[in-house]
Amino acid sequence: MIHNNRLRIVMQKTGRLSNDSKDLLARCGIKINLYKKKLIAFSENMPIDIICVRDDDIPGLIMDGIVDVGIIGENVLEEEVLSRQLRSDNIDYIKLKRLDFGTCRLSLAIPLDKTYKDISCLNNSRIATSYPHLLKKYFDKNNITFKSCMLNGSVEVAPRAGLSDAICDLVSTGATLEANGLREVQVIFRSKACLICKVGDISSEKRNVLNTLLTRIQGVIKARESKYIMLHAPIKRLEEVVQLLHGAERPTILKLAGDNTRVAMHMVSSETLFWETMEKLKLLGASSILVLPIEKMME
């Protein structure tokens, strides 16, 4: 049974976003028991229910006000907005936060043996895609005509199968394109997963849970982006050491027992400390350089 005063969150059942979505909620302290085949889960420790569906259905569930919160790729969200605009359907939603996973881009790609100078080379060509509205928006903006070939999957085989001249599909590492003899020629949309919520009435109980969740998500993401850096450095070179640590707060300085010339420095940095920087720190006389992950953070 679904309880009315419990915040309902919808996420992808299986696919690229599902593990990261589950992991994010778990890191926010929401206890959920979501094993493979389960499509709904009630949190034991917070008034939150999780519903798992195909990702394409998530924007509609939010825009129609059926579910409170959703985790979805911006590409799918924007495609749904464009499609609903054509049908004059409701497109209300609030983007609460851009998340730190599901990073990909929607790109045009052509067979390796085809030449490409600019987008006009694709004039009148047939393009296979699962994102016809995003594709049309891009071509309209550039005043180029095209014929579309709608495929919900296996888009990358379309040129080889003689279904299209080019494709417009999601790319991350580029391995899928390479494996299919295709070359990325133009990025048309950059995407990450995001947290969205419905517009309109949400009870104050749910609103409170949502605010708590949002603060925790911000804390989880901030912590994942940050590192705790500890090192020993000569007192005389402190400022030079600080200069090398971009993205770090002012350090805490601690005395070292039995050593008046060196101190321990502790600081939180929003940037990864690269090997090159560690080598430069060493040249300044720093030692015992430690870079530690941060589990949780609240400012």
Ligand X SMILES: O=P(O)(O)OC[C@H]1O[C@H](OP(=O)(O)OP(=O)(O)O)[C@H](O)[C@@H]1O
Task: Give the neighbor-by-neighbor strand order of the sheet with 193-197.
Answer: 40-42, 48-53, 7-12, 69-73, 193-197, 94-98
> Quick one: what does residue 115 bind among Mg ion, ligand ATP, ligand X, none, with the CB cut-off 5 to 8 Å set by partner type?
none
5 is a site residue for ligand X (CB under 6 A): no
Give whichever of 20 and 56 is closer to Mg ion, judged by the CB atom.
Answer: 56
80 is a site residue for Mg ion (CB under 5 A): no
103 is a site residue for ligand ATP (CB under 6 A): yes
- In the region spanning residues 37 to 56, those forming contacts with Mg ion, defined by CB under 5 A, are 55-56
> Quick one: what does residue 73 bind among ligand X, ligand ATP, Mg ion, none, with the CB cut-off 5 to 8 Å set by partner type?
ligand ATP
Q: Which stretch binds ligand ATP (CB under 6 A): 68-76, 200-208, 226-234, 273-281?
A: 68-76
Q: Contacting ligand ATP (CB under 6 A), which of 28, 41, 49, 75?
A: 75
70 is a site residue for ligand ATP (CB under 6 A): no
247 is a site residue for ligand X (CB under 6 A): no
Q: Could you give the CA distance from residue 18 to residue 242 in angstroms, rounded to a whole number?
A: 40
Amino acid at 161: A
Computed on alpha carbons and rounded to an integer, the radius of gyration of the chain in Å comes to 25
CB neighbour list of residue 175: distance below 8 Å, 6 or more residues apart: none
176 is a site residue for ligand X (CB under 6 A): yes
CB neighbour list of residue 15: distance below 8 Å, 6 or more residues apart: 55
The DSSP bridge partners found for residue 171 are: 105
100 is a site residue for ligand ATP (CB under 6 A): no
Instruction: Give 16: exposed, middle or buried? Use CB within 10 Å, 0-12, 13-18, 19+.
Output: middle
Look at residues 41, 52, 58 and name the one whose alpha carbon lies nearest to residue 19: 52
- In the region spanning residues 153 to 172, those forming contacts with ligand X, defined by CB under 6 A, are 153, 156, 169-172
CB of 58 to ligand ATP, least distance (A): 9
- 278-281 long-range contacts (CB < 8 A, ≥24 apart) are 280/244, 281/231, 281/233, 281/241, 281/244
CB neighbour list of residue 210: distance below 8 Å, 6 or more residues apart: 7, 68, 69, 197, 202
Q: Contacting ligand X (CB under 6 A), which of 2, 175, 257, 298?
A: 175
173 is a site residue for ligand X (CB under 6 A): yes
Residues that bind ligand ATP (CB under 6 A): 12, 15-17, 54-56, 73, 75-76, 102-104, 170, 172, 191
Residues that bind ligand X (CB under 6 A): 16, 153, 156, 169-176
